[in-house]
Structure 1
Amino acid sequence: MSLPKRLVVGLSGASGMPYALDLLKTLRRIPGLETHLVMTQGAKRVLLEEVGTRPEAVEALADVVHRSSDLGAAVASGSFRTLGMVVVPCSATTLAKVAYGLADNLLTRAAYVTLKERRPLVLVPRETPLPLPSLEAMVKAAQAGAVILPAAPGFYHRPAQIDDLLAFITQRILDLFDLDYPRAPRWKEAVELELD
């Protein structure tokens, strides 16, 4: 029996919302993939302040939307099968909660369940510089099975615009879930890609 093609996408209250939007727009283009979105209250505020986007517009990019206060949602249970979860952007607070198993909202509960079930969990922090507590939380989360993927795009593909930088991170996230969608050129590949 094949695993359902469902991916949980969490947005927490950190700078870096363009990364989340780029990922969600890309995921919509992958046939047969069902996205489950969880946004914290902090994420909703940052969306408005950073990119001028209302939460409803972001919710429209997902197949299923869950309230961050709904600890009884499907994604809160390990019996709800998914490909895994990505948190983008991942705030320092969310990172610490995930690292230490504090599941006080649906986003952190879904992340806890993802680790518990040994499914891929990708955390995309953007904050810099990183203080020691955040570095320690990253190590702890990685030891628990999470992948720490800092929102630090490469430049070997010679980005010409901001979208190229966003695409670089999106491509890395897709690769970690074995989702095949060409979003950014790979090392030594001359590929021209575009996303509306």
Structure 2
Amino acid sequence: MSEKPKRVVVGLSGASGMAYATDLLQTLRRLEGVEVHLVMSQGAKRVLVEEMGKNPEEVEALAHAVHRSQDIGAPIASGSFRTLGMVVVPCSATSVAKIAYGLADNLLTRAAYVHLKERRPLILVPREAPLPIPTLEALLKAAQAGATILPAAPGFYTKPQSIEDLLAFMTQRILDLLGLEYPRAPRWKD
């Protein structure tokens, strides 16, 4: 019997917080045997440029496979394509709503839908604030459907000294939720 592939799907949607996404992608790239599949929305590509001064190609280079958001026939759109899970980071309010209600109108939302239907880990990392009632309701609906909601809200008990420390905290939480071992940030009393 073959070993389950160690694939992780990372989706970037058009919300602020691209530093979280790039830190996660850089860390996943360091993990031996983990294959990263990336899909970015058009909004994500714009935010990357505006927020970080990065071209999408720079971020795409961190993945093993890059899938276009319009390509509904990509491997990650199928439940038969086995993965350890999917992370949408940052996850915009629009993406949360589409995922919560099964509106799979692009590859990012289709891949998220597949992870829900296959009962695989789906981690949504919203960063926007404050949260209006429609977004709160969509987050609740997504959680009820099986997604893990992990707000981009790093802890301070680790006594972070830099932005990188704050990013590492969030990346560590994502890795933990995916069941991947990699020491990225200190743990509470560990």
Q: Distance in 2 between matches of 1:50 and 1:114?
A: 29
Q: TM-score, normalised by structure 2?
A: 0.99
Q: How far is 1:188 from its partner? A: 1.8
Q: Structure 2: how far apart are the matches of 1:142 and 1:3?
A: 26
Could you tell me which amino acid in structure 1 is paired with residue 105 of structure 2? Answer: D
What's 1:101 paired with? 102
1:111 aligned residue: 112
CA distance in 1 between counterparts of 2:53 and 2:23 reads: 15
CA distance in 2, matches of 1:158, 1:7: 29
| Alignment-derived partner of residue 182 in structure 2 | 181
Q: Unaligned stretches of 5+ in structure 2?
A: none
Secondary structure, aligned partner of 1:139: helix
Matching residue's letter, 1:94: S
Please give the per-residue CA displacement for 1:110-131, whole angstroms capped at 9, x wherever unaligned: 0000000000000000001100
Q: Does 1:132 align with 2:125?
A: no
**Residues in 2 aligned to 1:145 and 1:178: alpha-carbon distance in whole angstroms:** 16
| Partner residue in 2 for 1:32 | 33
Find the residue that maps to 1:134 and give its secondary structure: helix
- Residue 54 of structure 1 corresponds to 55
Cα offset, 1:84, TM superposition: 1.0
Q: CA deviation at 1:2?
A: 2.6
SS in 2 for 1:43: helix
Indicate the SS of the match to 2:57. Answer: helix
- Give aligned-pair identity as a percent: 77
In structure 2, give the amino acid aligned to 1:151. Answer: A
The Cα offsets for residues 113-171 of structure 1, whole Å up to 9 and x where unpaired, read as: 00000000000000011000010001000000000000000000000000000000000
* Counterpart-to-counterpart distance in 1, 2:101 and 2:94: 11
Partner letter of residue 135 of structure 1?
L
- Alignment-mate amino acid for residue 187 of structure 1: W
Please give the per-residue CA displacement for 1:81-129, whole angstroms capped at 9, x wherever unaligned: 1111000000000000000000000000000000000000000000011
Deviation at 1:28, TM superposition (A): 0.5
Structure 2: distance between partners of 1:162 and 1:10: 22
Deviations 1:36-71 (A, max 9, x none): 000000000000000000000000000000000000
Matching residue's letter, 1:21? T
Q: Deviations over 1:163-194 (max 9, x none)?
A: 000000000000001100000000024xxxxx
Task: State the Cα RMSD in Å.
Answer: 0.6
Verify: 1:161 aligned to 2:144, yes or no. Answer: no
Does the residue aligned with 1:35 lie in a helix, a strand or coil? strand
Q: Which runs of 5+ in 1 are unaligned?
A: 190-196
Aligned to 1:193: none
3-state SS of paired residue (1:107): helix
Runs in 1 of length 4+ with deviation above 2 angstroms? none
Q: Which residue of 2 aligns with 1:192?
A: none
Counterpart secondary structure, 1:109: helix
TM-score, with length taken from structure 1 = 0.96
